[in-house]
Amino acid sequence: MDNTGGVARAKVRSRLGDHGNVVFRGAPLDGWRDAYHLMLTMPLPAFMGVMAGSYFLINLFFAGLYFLDPDGIAQARPGYFWDDFFFSVQTLGTLGYGTLAPKTLYTNIIVTCEVFVALFNLGVAAGLLFARISRPTARIMFSNLAVVTAMNGEPTFMLRAANRRRNLVLEAEVTLTLVEDVTTDEGDVLRRFRQLTPVRRRTPLFFLTWQIMHVITPESPLHGETAESLAKRNAEILVILRGLDETFVADIHARASYLPHEIIWDRRFADILQLQEDGTRVVDLGRFDDLDERPAPCPAVSPQP
Clarify whether residues 265 and 164 are in a common domain.
Answer: yes
Q: Is residue 228 assigned to a domain?
A: yes
| Amino acid 9: pLDDT | 39
| 166 and 148 within one domain | yes
Res 197: pLDDT: 94
Q: What is the pLDDT of residue 302?
A: 45
CB-neighbour burial class of residue 91 (10 A; exposed 0-12, middle 13-18, buried 19+): buried
Condensed to tens digits (0 to 9), the pLDDT of residues 259-302 reads 999 999 988 888 887 777 777 778 788 888 888 876 655 554 54
**pLDDT tens across 12-56, in order?**
456 766 655 566 666 666 656 678 788 888 888 999 999 999 999
Task: Find out whether 70 and 78 touch, Cβ atoms under 8 Å.
Answer: yes
Q: Is residue 10 part of a domain?
A: no
Cα atoms found within 13 Å of the Cα of residue 257, Cβ hemisphere only:
17
Q: What is the mean pLDDT of residues 202-212?
A: 88
For the stretch 190-197, contacts whose Cβ atoms lie closer than 8 Å and that sit 24 or more positions apart, written own/partner, are 194/221, 195/221, 196/157, 196/220, 196/221, 196/222, 196/237
**Are residue 234 and residue 146 in the same domain, yes or no?**
yes
Q: Looking at the structure, do residues 119 and 144 belong to the same domain, yes or no?
A: no
Same domain, 153 and 273: yes
Domain total for the chain? 2
pLDDT of residue 20: 54
Residue spans of beta strands (DSSP E) within the chain = 73-74, 101-102, 140-142, 146-151, 154-163, 169-183, 189-196, 202-206, 209-215, 236-245, 250-258, 263-265, 273-275, 281-283
pLDDT of residue 53: 93
What's this model's pTM, rounded to 2 decimal places?
0.70
**Residue where one domain finishes, among candidates 134, 151, 182:** 134
Is the domain of 146 the same as that of 274? yes
* pLDDT value for 28: 66
Please choose, from the candidates 99, 51, 103, the residue with its C-alpha nearest in 3D space to the C-alpha of residue 72.
103
pLDDT of 122: 87
Greatest pairwise CA separation for the chain in angstroms? 90
7 has pLDDT over 50: no
Is the model more confident about 191 or about 13? 191
The pLDDT of 154-175, averaged and rounded, is: 90
Is pLDDT of 4 > 50?
Answer: no
Average confidence score pLDDT of the chain? 84
More confident residue, 74 or 17: 74
Position 305 in a domain: no
Reference 67, options 114, 14, 106; nearest CA is 106
Domain annotation covers residue 240: yes
Residue that finishes a domain, picked among 134, 163, 181: 134
Residue 243 lies in a domain: yes
Are both 38 and 62 inside the same structural domain? yes
User: Is 57 found in the same domain as 144?
Assistant: no
**Quick one: 144 and 130 in the same domain?**
no
By residue range, what is the domain housing residue 113?
32-134
Report the CATH number at residue 99.
Answer: 1.10.287.70
Same domain, 280 and 151: yes
The answer to whether residues 47 and 146 belong to one domain is no
Which pLDDT value is given to residue 278?
Answer: 79
Most trustworthy range by pLDDT among 150-159, 162-171, 294-303: 150-159
Claim to verify: residue 130 and residue 197 sit in the same structural domain: no
Question: What gap in Å lies between CA 83 and CA 68, rounded to an integer?
Answer: 13
Is the pLDDT at 305 greater than 60, yes or no?
no
The CATH code of the domain that includes 219 is 2.60.40.1400
Q: Given this model, what pLDDT does residue 134 score?
A: 78
Phi-psi region of 136 (alpha: psi -120 to 50; beta: other; left: phi over 0): beta
CA gap 267, 148 in Å, rounded: 7
